[in-house]
């Protein structure tokens, strides 16, 4: 790995840490001795999300998380549990290996996870599921319940 400051070809890894999504490496340039951090991630290709009107949007884990969090509002479910559920959904999508996924299918996957996590959240999500298209819409509906 080339030094990001001086371009020198030799850098030394001084620290390696595994996080959930990446391997974080602290490096030190052997010439200028400055330090920088790199992140190593596996390249994964998630399907494009197809909305009911045919519009295509990029898969967005943050959006999915926001939807689940809304359904789980004030429910005794930890952030770790939500992240684990998101991980399972993502893995499922990768296993399916389809280039596109409908919002309906995404909704099904979310419902399956919520059913196992928390019944109230499941009912919240399932009751508005048919009209679930984006987070803002869902947020509005949840507010009304």
Positions in 25-64 near Zn ion (CB under 5 A): 29, 31-32
Q: Is 15 helix (H, G, I), strand (E, B) or coil?
A: strand
DSSP 22-63: -EEEEEEETTT--EEEEEE-----PPEEE-TTS-EE---HHH
Least distance (Å) from Zn ion to the CB of residue 39?
A: 19
Binding mask 3-32 for Zn ion (x = CB under 5 A): x-xx-x--------------------x-xx
Least distance (Å) from Zn ion to the CB of residue 35?
A: 10
Nearer to Zn ion by C-beta: 3 or 85?
A: 3
Least distance (Å) from Zn ion to the CB of residue 33?
A: 7
Nearer to Zn ion by C-beta: 27 or 124?
A: 27
Beta carbons of 77 and 69 less than 8 angstroms apart? no
Nearer to Zn ion by C-beta: 11 or 103?
A: 11
54: left (phi over 0), alpha (psi -120 to 50) or beta: left
The Cα 63–Cα 120 span in angstroms is 20
Least distance (Å) from Zn ion to the CB of residue 138?
A: 49
Q: Which residues bind Zn ion (CB under 5 A)?
A: 3, 5-6, 8, 29, 31-32
């Amino acid at each position: 790995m080339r030094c990001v400051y001086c371009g020198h070809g030799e850098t030394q890894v001084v620290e390696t840490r595994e996080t959930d999504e990446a391997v974080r490496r602290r490096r030190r340039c052997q010439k200028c001795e400055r330090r920088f951090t790199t992140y190593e991630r596996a390249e994964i290709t998630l399907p494009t999300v197809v909305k009911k009107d045919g519009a295509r949007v990029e898969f967005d884990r943050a959006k999915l998380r926001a939807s689940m969090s809304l359904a789980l509002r004030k429910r005794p479910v930890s952030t770790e549990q939500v992240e684990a559920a998101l991980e399972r959904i993502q893995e499922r999508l990768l296993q399916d290996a389809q280039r596109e996924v409908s919002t309906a299918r995404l909704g099904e996957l979310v419902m399956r996870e919520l059913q196992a996590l928390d019944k109230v959240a499941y009912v919240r999500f399932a009751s508005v599921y048919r009209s679930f298209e984006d987070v803002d819409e869902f947020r509005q509906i949840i507010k009304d319940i």
